[in-house]
Chain A
Amino acid sequence: MSSACEKCHRYTIGSFYQKGDHVMYTDKVMDHFQNPRNVGEISNADGVGEEGNARCGDIMKLWIKVENGRIIEAKFKTFGCGAAIATSSIITELVIGKTIDEAEQISNNAVAEALDGLPPVKMHCSNLAANALQKAIDDYRAKVKVS
């Protein structure tokens, strides 16, 4: 049984209660899952990005505060699995203190590496975080352009 999701183009690779592909998380993932950093919203954010959809089981929303072209604050809210929450948490740590241009270079692989790796079936969760960041940056740039 294999069918791609119309929205996110990911593939079904297993079925309910099929525990053959045992998902094992690294200590770093579990740490960020148990103690997520920077959870919440920024009311006067300079950029907001949202990625994913509830249908596929994960949504991340990321808020960034920018001063002199540098991200000084980042907060997130995520609906999703352990990996989705951990990647959300770590990307806030990765971006704080970076310039917008530097932050834009953060790839999904960098997110996964920062967590000491993700199980193959969970790699898409790193896209979730990287894409939410890109959208937040796009939003920031659009706002700067207007003002």
Chain B
Amino acid sequence: MDRIYLDHAATTPMRTEVLEAMIPYLTDKFGNASTIYGWGREAKKTLDDARASVANRIGADFNEIVFTGSGSESDNMAIKGIAWQYSDRGKHIITSQIEHHAVLDSVKWLEKQGFEVTYLPVDADGIISVDDFRAALRSDTIIASIMHGNNEIGTIQPIQEIGQICGEHGVLLHTDAVQTVGAMPVNVNDLNVDLLTLSAHKFYGPKGVGALYIRKGVRLAPLVHGGGQERVRRAGTENVAFIVGLAKALELAEAEREVVIPHIQRLRDVLLTGLEKIPNVKVNGCRTRRLPNNVNVCFQFIEGESLLLNLDMKGIAASSGSACTSGSLDPSHVLLALGLSHEIAHGSLRLTLGKDTQKSEIDRVLAELPPIVERLREMSPLYNR
């Protein structure tokens, strides 16, 4: 049985071209970029090239890119780093109820240290209101962190407008663009952001490497102290091979984006249309302001984990916002923020397509899923009630 991978929002397979670009730096070209001899200079040159390449693709300058170990690290670094650096200016932070936990748990941790946080709600479509954002601003607001594309329901937030407002009020804006980089145009100047998080493994690069864009003039306290790497913003010997992988993956994703993304979106629409034919199904998140590869639906009367297990037995990999898939009691905070009841949110299914997803795979999912849903409903005491 051929397996079908539809969890590209979780991670993507690394491209072979990326691996090939990385291998020399895992083997012969092993130098520490901080050393002055040949091996070191070679590593430094490679690092510089990667940094310039990444900066160029998101409209940033060379010195505005810091490489990190993950998207989560970039989020933590942006939020805690700014909060610590500018705490004398104010203690207020604005974020949303639908952020990734790397952001939510960071601001919750800062709350324990005396910072105050406003968690903006979203409408039923999963979009933050620009007016709400404006109303939440205070004289002591120092940073806002609003994600670009939501990892669960795929909604795209009005970052550009929010960024403009932040600029007018002297508030720094961070955006987690982990889901959008490679999937749509991401330019830090067009978005009006001061800090931006990206992660390589979401665009066919390696896991364990991310980047944080920090606008020139913005200072932040480092999370990791030690050497002077990354202009004293993140100590630790640079992971040259993985940084090369990130840069290569981004280069390829951007080169192919205009061809690949419409293809993914067409297949996504086929999948969504097919799923909507199943009775008692609800589509989560705005249909238009949405990541091109994201499908998120709730099947009434059934629970997400049993759905995932059944799909797994058919070789289909997907995700759910059900409590039982996470070992947590509550279903996804994002689905609850949409105003869904717990009961409905427990029955969510997320399918995220990738560049190699085939029409035949979508057809197979559409053939396998309805009988699974039907069987679980037949077993459910909530059905036919």
Bound state CA distance, A1 and B309, in angstroms? 26
Among A16, A33, A50, A78, find the residue whose CB has the most chain B CB atoms closer than 10 A: A16
Contact with A along B309-337 (1 / 0, CB 8 A): 10001000001011111111111111000
Question: Which residues of B are interface residues toward A (Cβ below 8 A)?
Answer: 10, 101, 105, 108, 151-152, 301-306, 309, 313, 319, 321-334, 341-343, 346, 378-382
Cβ–Cβ contact A82 & B306, under 8 A: yes
**CB-defined A-B contacts under 8 Å, sample of 9:** A1-B105, A15-B326, A16-B328, A18-B101, A33-B306, A39-B379, A50-B381, A56-B329, A77-B380
Interface set, chain A 14-37, CB cutoff 8 A to B: 14-19, 21, 23, 30, 33-34, 36
Size bin of chain A's contact surface: 35 or more
How far apart are B178's CB and chain A's nearest CB, in angstroms? 12
Majority DSSP secondary structure for residues of B touching A: loop
Q: A17-B10, A39-B378, A54-B343 are in contact. Are A23 and B327 (CB under 8 A)?
A: yes
Bound state CA distance, A130 and B166, in angstroms? 56
* A-B pairs with beta carbons under 8 A, tally: 111
Bound state CA distance, A34 and B304, in angstroms? 15
Give chain A residues whose Cβ lies under 8 Å from the Cβ of B325.
17, 81
How far apart are A65's CB and chain B's nearest CB, in angstroms? 18
Cβ–Cβ contact A57 & B380, under 8 A: no
| Selected contact of B381 from candidates A34, A55, A61, A121, CB within 8 Å | A61
Cβ–Cβ contact A77 & B322, under 8 A: no
Give chain B residues whose Cβ lies under 8 Å from the Cβ of A5.
329-330
| Selected contact of B303 from candidates A3, A23, A80, CB within 8 Å | A80
Give chain A residues whose Cβ lies under 8 Å from the Cβ of B101.
15-16, 18
Cβ–Cβ contact B327 & A13, under 8 A: yes
A129 contacts B by Cβ under 8 Å: no
A85 contacts B by Cβ under 8 Å: yes
Give chain B residues whose Cβ lies under 8 Å from the Cβ of A80.
303, 306, 324
Cβ–Cβ contact B381 & A78, under 8 A: yes
Cβ–Cβ contact B303 & A57, under 8 A: yes
Given contacts A15-B101, A84-B306, 10 further A-B contacts (CB under 8 A): A14-B327, A30-B309, A50-B381, A57-B346, A80-B306, A81-B322, A81-B324, A82-B306, A85-B306, A122-B324
